Amino acid sequence: MTPRIIKTIHEMQTESNRIQTSGKTIGFVPTMGFLHEGHLGLIRIARKQADVVVLSIYVNPTQFGPNEDLAKYPRDFEWDAKLAAQEGVDIIFYPTDEEMYPQGFVTTVRVDQLTEGLCGASRPGHFDGVTTICAKIFNVVKPNFAIFGQKDAQQALVIRQMVRDLNLDLEIVIAPIVREADGLAMSSRNVYLSPDERQDALALRQSLQLAESIIQQSERNTSVVLQKMREFIESKSTTKIDYVEIVDAESLQPIAELSGKVLIALAVFVGKTRLIDNVLIEPPS
Ligand code: AMP
């Protein structure tokens, strides 16, 4: 079935109210489009768990910094709609900037602490844009649950915190990272990579695997692990590290000694393309 395409907030809210009144559940997958298997993994989880699946496609300008790739961010709505149809999406919410940010819009939703490190440190204002658009869009789609990818680990935790703090009436589900056959985490931005860069981009995942194996051999000092990861990534000719960090998996605070559940997260420029990846581990104590 072809998904219904809804472009206005009013129509989406009316439809969501109708679905909820009829006793059906709504599973929601927010995306910026240019869909790949990572997004489809989220949609499949929603399809299994909800009566009605809503996918949003919106390249949110407020989460891009002035020197980032907003203008050239890849877009292909026709293709996305085709994939969404194949996956059994019921509704695509596809608003314009004017619809989401009309003249006179002045509100920002901000989560502190969790947004300070990692991507928050290198992309000032990014998470304010993310939380503001998510708060808005949750109020428009009114889902029972929304699915986010572990690929954007910090984003998922920030959204979960916002939902808790603002008592938003939905559940946040976090889905595993979907990867290419060679290990590269799927991303809409992978299309920017030249063949050489595509090869070097494997260093992100490989450095995480390197960290895991060093930790498995009983290394517990995070700076030793991080140093080895940095050396590995920097050995590639097109890579430039934005950050490589080992943090507590809940608070996202950097840790000196590995213990409990930790997140190893990194952002690396491969050529001009900034890619992220991460792994969650719990070393035996
Ligand atoms: P984006 O369109 O990049 O904003 O991503 C929309 C959602 O898809 C976010 O919740 C991402 O975390 C998730 N996502 C993107 N890539 C992947 C991936 N490779 N594996 C799992 N989830 C992903």
Structural domains for the chain: 4-175 (3.40.50.620), 188-278 (3.30.1300.10)
Ligand 1 atom closest to Cα of 32? 2
Q: Which amino acids are annotated catalytic?
A: 39
Report which protein residue has its CA nearest ligand 1's atom 14. 149
Give the amino acid at 238: T
- The whole-number pLDDT of residue 26 equals 98
- The whole-number pLDDT of residue 244 equals 98
Q: Mean pLDDT in runs of 10 for the chain (285 residues)?
A: 96 98 98 98 98 98 96 97 98 98 98 98 97 98 98 98 98 98 97 98 98 95 98 98 98 95 98 98 87
Ligand 1: lining residues by beta carbon, under 6 Å? 31-32, 38-39, 41-42, 148-149, 151-152, 175, 177-178, 185-188
Give bridge partners of residue 27 from the DSSP assignment. Answer: 53, 145
Ligand 1 atom closest to Cα of 185? 19
- The whole-number pLDDT of residue 19 equals 98
Beta strands in the chain (DSSP E): 4-6, 26-31, 52-57, 91-93, 145-149, 171-175, 239-248, 262-270, 273-281
Contact present, 58 and 94 (Cβ < 8 Å): yes
Report which protein residue has its CA nearest ligand 1's atom 11. 149
Say how many Å lie between the CA of residue 218 and the centre of ligand 1.
32
Ligand 1 atom closest to Cα of 34? 2
- The whole-number pLDDT of residue 86 equals 98
78 alpha-carbon distance from chain centroid? 22
- The whole-number pLDDT of residue 143 equals 98
Hey, which of 32, 35, 36, 42 would you mutate to test ligand 1's pocket, going by the most ligand atoms within 8 Å of its Cβ?
42
- The whole-number pLDDT of residue 285 equals 74
Contact present, 283 and 220 (Cβ < 8 Å): yes
Give 169: exposed, middle or buried? Use CB within 10 Å, 0-12, 13-18, 19+: exposed
Say how many Å lie between the CA of residue 158 and the centre of ligand 1.
15
- The whole-number pLDDT of residue 129 equals 98
Report which protein residue has its CA nearest ligand 1's atom 22. 149
Contact present, 155 and 31 (Cβ < 8 Å): no
Comparing C-alpha atoms, which of 108, 107, 129, 127 is closest to residue 116?
A: 127
Say how many Å lie between the CA of residue 217 and the centre of ligand 1.
32
Give bridge partners of residue 268 from the DSSP assignment. Answer: 241, 275
- The whole-number pLDDT of residue 81 equals 98
Say how many Å lie between the CA of residue 96 and the centre of ligand 1.
21
pTM of model > 0.75: yes
